[in-house]
Structure 1
Amino acid sequence: MGWWLNSGVWTMSMIIIIISSVQADSPYRFLDWRVTYGNIYPLGIPQRGILINGQFPGPEIYSVTNDNLIINVHNDLDEPFLLSWNGVQLRKNSYQDGVYGTTCPIPPGKNYTYAIQVKDQIGSFFYFPSLSLHKASGGFGGLRILSRPLIPVPFPEPAGDFTFLIGDWYSRHDHKTLKAFLDRGHKLPLPDAILINGRGVSFSSSLTVQKGKTYRLRISNVGLQHSLNFKIKGHHMKLVEVEGTHTVQSMYSSLDIHVGQSYSVLVTMDQPENDYPIIVSTRFAARELVVGAALHYSNSRQSLSSASTVEHQHQHPGDEVDWSIKQARSIRSNLTASGPRPNPQGSYHYGQINISKTLVLESSAGLVRRKQRYAINGVSFVQADTPLKLADYFKIGGVFKVGSIPEKPTRGRRGIRLDTAVMGAHHRDFLEIVFQNREKILQSYHLDGYSFWVVGINRGTWSVASRREYNLRDAVSRSTTQVYPESWTAVYVALDNVGMWNLRSEFWARQYLGQQFYLRVYSPVPSLRDEYLLPNNVFLCGRASNRHITP
C-alpha cells in the first residue's frame, strides 16, 4: 500500500501494516493530525502560520517509555511537508526520521502515517517541520516521554508539569519569504522577536502556581538561530533532566538554552505571593531581544503588565562566553538515577571504551557562485533527487557516494565545494567527534538517532592533548550540543543504531545552505535485530518512484 487514504479512517489492514514495523507487545497511541495554514497572532497582529489540528504551537505528545506512536499526518499545505522528532532516537528505524535524506516528503493533499517507538527513552523533546524553512512559520510542538510506573524517578512528583517552547521569530517574513532570501544567495535577516509558547508580547501569557508547591518546567529552544537565556525573577531552578538524561540536581538562577536543546527544571514557589516575570532573552547576538511571561501566584493581587520593565539578561559577571562555558561544564549525569530501565545511568562506562575513530568537524562560511553557502570540512551539502536511505535500500547508483566528505578538515584546500555529503561508519564503532569552531559565532549541532556524551568544551583549537581535560565519568548525554565562538566541543558516541542519520547545524539557515551531512551507520549482514524493514506505507519518489517494496 503506497499511502494511507486521505479520509483519515483507520482500517484493520492499515493498523496491521503499521504494527508490522514497530513493537507489537508495547502500548499504542494513535494520533490524527491535519497540517494547514491559518492566521496566528504571536505579536498581536495576524500573520500566516503553519498549524497542526488548528493549533500553534502544535499539540503536545504525551507518551511513556516504549510506547508506539502512530501519527497520521495529513498535508493540507500547498507544498511537500515532513515532521522530524528532535532528540527521539528511533531505534533501528531511520526511515521514520522525517528528514529528506531518509524519507520522501508528504505531497500536498496526501497523508503519511509515522510509526515510531520511544524505545528505552525518557525525557523532554520536541517535533518540528524539517523541510525548507517551514519551521519559521510553526508546525512545532512539545514531546514528552514519561518513565514507566515501576522505574523510580530521582525527585518527588511535582504539583504540575509544563512545557515552554521558546525561540526567535520573524513577524515580517513567513517561511516562503525567508526561503527566497536564502535561495537568492543572501544571509538570513535578524529575527523580530522571541516567542514563549507562540506569544511574543510580554506578559500576554501567565503560569498560575500555588505557594509552597514545586513544578516541573520543560524548556525547549525551537527557534532558528539564537541561543536564549531563561530565568524566573526571584526563583532558582533545579536542573533535573536534559534531553533524556537525569542530571546532577544543581541550582541555577538562569540557564543558557541553545537552538535545538531541551532542559527540564524543578521550581519551588517559595517567594511572597506576587507575580514574577519569566524572562527569555537572546545570548551571543548582535541585537538583544527580550520577552516576558508572568509567574502568577494564585493569591497574588499584584499583576504584571506589558508596560512592566523587562530587565536585561547580560548581567553575568565576567565574560559572556566564559560564564556560559562554566555553566555548560557544570551539567553532569546523575550516575545513581535510573534512566528508562531500572539500572543506574552510570552503569555504562563510556570513558573506558577504546575509540574506533576520531572525526574533526569544522564549519566554514563563504560564497559559491556568488551565493552564500555554509560547509563542514569544506563540503556544503546539496540535496539529491532521491532520499539517500531509499537509494541505499534499492541500491540505486549515482545518488550519493560514501566518503564524499572528509573525516577531518583539509588544511591545504581552500573554499567550499558542493556535494551530497555522506560519511561512512561501522555499526558498533565508538566515535570521538570534535566540533571545531574557528568562527566568531556560537554554533549548535545535532545528531539524529543518537545521544552522545559531551566530554569536553573549551576555547581555542582542539589537539590530542585536549583529551586530558575530558570528563570521562559523568558527562551529560544528549543529542544537541553548543560550540562556543573560536572554541571546540568534543563528544563520544556509540554507534549502536544502524541507519542513515543526519548530523546538522541547528541554525536553520546554515543547515538549509549546506552545514550538514549524513552518517551512514552500516552493518554488512542485514538483520531485523539491527534495523527494521522498509515500511509498507512509505512514499517512493525520485529515482525510487518505480521501485517495488518487497513484503
Structure 2
Amino acid sequence: MGFTWHFGAVVLVLALVALVNAEDPYRFFDWNVTYGDIYPLGVRQRGILINGQFPGPEIYSVTNDNLIINVHNSLPEPFLITWSGVQQRRNSYQDGVYGTTCPIPPGKNFTYTLQMKDQIGSFYYFPSLAFHKAADWYKYDHKTLQTILDRGHRLPFPNAVLINGRGGNDTSFTVEQGKTYRLRISNVGLQNSLNFRIQGHQMKLVEVEGTHTVQTTYDSLDIHVGQSYSVLITADQAPQDYYIVTSTRFTSQVLTSTAVLHYSNSARQVSGPIPGGPTTQTGWSLSQARSIRTNLTASWT
C-alpha cells in the first residue's frame, strides 16, 4: 500500500451558453526525483523521493483536467513514471512504459501531459524502469533485488507490508463520530495479493479501478496487485481506536501490517488481538471477485 493517485468525477451543468466553449482547466506540477534516506521499517534505506517525499505527492483532479507534470530526473540513471489505469488517448508516448516512452536521462526532464477524460476513481503512479518499484517492502536495496532477478533467481519473501509508506502501526487516521469517509486503497506491491480490513467496521465498495459499482458491503476485501478500490466507512462504533489491517494472501508465511483508525473523541487506545482475515482460501477470493464483477456498471461518459 503505497503511492496513491486520486481522481474524482463531476457532472457539470452549464447554465450559460458562453461556458460551453471554455477551455478545460490546466494544473501544473514540477517534480524533482532524487535518492534519499527513508525509514519505513525503522532502519535506514535508500529510497526514491519526489520533491523530498516518500510516498510521492498526491494529485487531486476532476474529469477533463489537463495535468502538466514536469519531471526532473536527478538520479544517476534513466528514470520513467507510468500512470497506472489512466487512459492515454492518442498520446501513448505519455504512458511512461519503456517501449512507448523514452527514459528520462540523468540530469534531464520530461513533461507529461495527461487529460483525465471521463475517468473517475483512484489510480496510482510508479517508476517503471530498473526495479525502482520495489514495494512489497524489502530491507534490501532495489539494486540488490534487480541483481537477484538478473541472475535468474526468484525474489525472496518480502520483509513487510507497508500502509502509506510505513509499517507496524505507525500510521493513524482520525475520524469524527458519525461521519462517513471515503478510503482509496491501492495494492502497489510486486507480487502478493493483500487483504484489507478495519476492526469493527464494514466497508461499502463504491468504485473499482475507475468504474462505479453497485454499492456492496464487505467485512474485508482482497486487493490484488495493481488494483485500486474506493470504499465508504462510517464512524458509527464506540469512540475508541481500531486496527486497520492488511495482510498477504496465498502465502505460506503471512505478513501483516497495521495502522490505527482513531476516533477524535476516543476513550481507549487500540488493544487486543489483531482481527484475522482469509489466508489461503482461494474460493473465498473467487467468490468475492465474482460479486464485484457482477455489480460493475458503466463508467460516466
With normalisation by structure 1, the TM-score equals 0.49
Query: 1:291·1:310 contact (CA, 8 Å) conserved in 2?
Result: no
Alignment correspondent of 2:77: 79
Aligned-partner SS, 2:86:
coil
Aligned-partner SS, 1:250:
strand
Alignment correspondent of 1:117: 115
* Structure 2 unmatched ranges of 5 or more: 1-21
Aligned-partner SS, 1:180:
helix
Alignment correspondent of 1:346: none
Q: Which of these two proteins has the greater Rg computed from alpha carbons?
A: 1
* Deviation of 1:91 (Å): 1.2
Query: 1:205·1:294 contact (CA, 8 Å) conserved in 2?
Result: yes
2-structure distance, mates of 1:277, 1:117 = 37
Runs (4 or more) in structure 1 with deviation over 4 Å come to none
Among 185, 197, 201, the residue aligned to 2:152: 185
Aligned-partner SS, 2:146:
helix
Among 277, 281, 284, the residue aligned to 1:313: 277
Query: 1:78·1:108 contact (CA, 8 Å) conserved in 2?
Result: yes
Q: 1:270-318 CA deviation, whole Å, 9 max, x = no partner?
A: 110010000100001131000100000111121137xx64343237xxx
2-structure distance, mates of 1:285, 1:88 = 30
* Deviation of 1:186 (Å): 1.0
Aligned-partner SS, 2:37:
strand
Query: 1:65·1:340 contact (CA, 8 Å) conserved in 2?
Result: no
* Deviation of 1:80 (Å): 0.3
User: Is the aligned partner of 1:168 residue 2:136?
Assistant: yes
Aligned-partner SS, 2:269:
coil
The one-letter code matched in structure 1 to 2:56 is G
Among 200, 206, 227, the residue aligned to 1:234: 200
Alignment correspondent of 2:247: 281
Greater relative contact order, per chain length (Cα 8 Å cut-off, separation 6+): 2
1-structure distance, mates of 2:42, 2:276 = 23
The one-letter code matched in structure 2 to 1:320 is Q
The one-letter code matched in structure 1 to 2:40 is P
* Deviation of 1:268 (Å): 0.8
Q: How many residues align?
A: 279
Aligned-partner SS, 1:328:
helix
2-structure distance, mates of 1:242, 1:104 = 30
Alignment correspondent of 2:67: 69
Alignment correspondent of 2:300: 340
Write out aligned runs for 1:469-488 (5 A).
none
* Structure 1 unmatched ranges of 5 or more: 1-23, 137-166, 342-551
Alignment correspondent of 1:323: 284
2-structure distance, mates of 1:185, 1:333 = 41
The one-letter code matched in structure 2 to 1:178 is L
Write out aligned runs for 1:369-384 (5 A).
none
Query: 2:171·2:259 contact (CA, 8 Å) conserved in 1?
Result: yes
Alignment correspondent of 1:194: 161
Q: Identical aligned pairs, as a percentage?
A: 69
Aligned-partner SS, 2:32:
strand
* Deviation of 1:334 (Å): 5.2
User: Is the aligned partner of 1:204 residue 2:170?
Assistant: yes
Alignment correspondent of 1:218: 184
Change (3 A) 1:333 1:67: farther
Alignment correspondent of 2:130: 132
2-structure distance, mates of 1:107, 1:217 = 36
Query: 1:294·1:304 contact (CA, 8 Å) conserved in 2?
Result: yes
The one-letter code matched in structure 2 to 1:321 is T
The one-letter code matched in structure 2 to 1:257 is I
2-structure distance, mates of 1:244, 1:229 = 20
Aligned-partner SS, 2:153:
coil
Alignment correspondent of 2:11: none
Q: 1:166-225 CA deviation, whole Å, 9 max, x = no partner?
A: x62001x11111001111111111100000000012x21110001111000000000111
Query: 1:124·1:218 contact (CA, 8 Å) conserved in 2?
Result: yes
The one-letter code matched in structure 2 to 1:254 is S
Query: 1:216·1:265 contact (CA, 8 Å) conserved in 2?
Result: yes
Among 270, 282, 289, the residue aligned to 1:304: 270
Query: 2:69·2:111 contact (CA, 8 Å) conserved in 1?
Result: yes
Among 260, 285, 290, the residue aligned to 2:256: 290
Aligned-partner SS, 1:169:
coil
Q: 1:415-468 CA deviation, whole Å, 9 max, x = no partner?
A: xxxxxxxxxxxxxxxxxxxxxxxxxxxxxxxxxxxxxxxxxxxxxxxxxxxxxx
2-structure distance, mates of 1:314, 1:340 = 34
Aligned-partner SS, 2:144:
helix
* Deviation of 1:46 (Å): 1.2
User: Is the aligned partner of 1:271 residue 2:237?
Assistant: yes
Query: 1:193·1:200 contact (CA, 8 Å) conserved in 2?
Result: yes
1-structure distance, mates of 2:117, 2:232 = 25
Alignment correspondent of 1:27: 25
Query: 1:133·1:176 contact (CA, 8 Å) conserved in 2?
Result: yes
Write out aligned runs for 1:7-18 (5 A).
none
User: Is the aligned partner of 1:108 residue 2:102?
Assistant: no
Q: 1:109-153 CA deviation, whole Å, 9 max, x = no partner?
A: 1111011111121111000000121011xxxxxxxxxxxxxxxxx
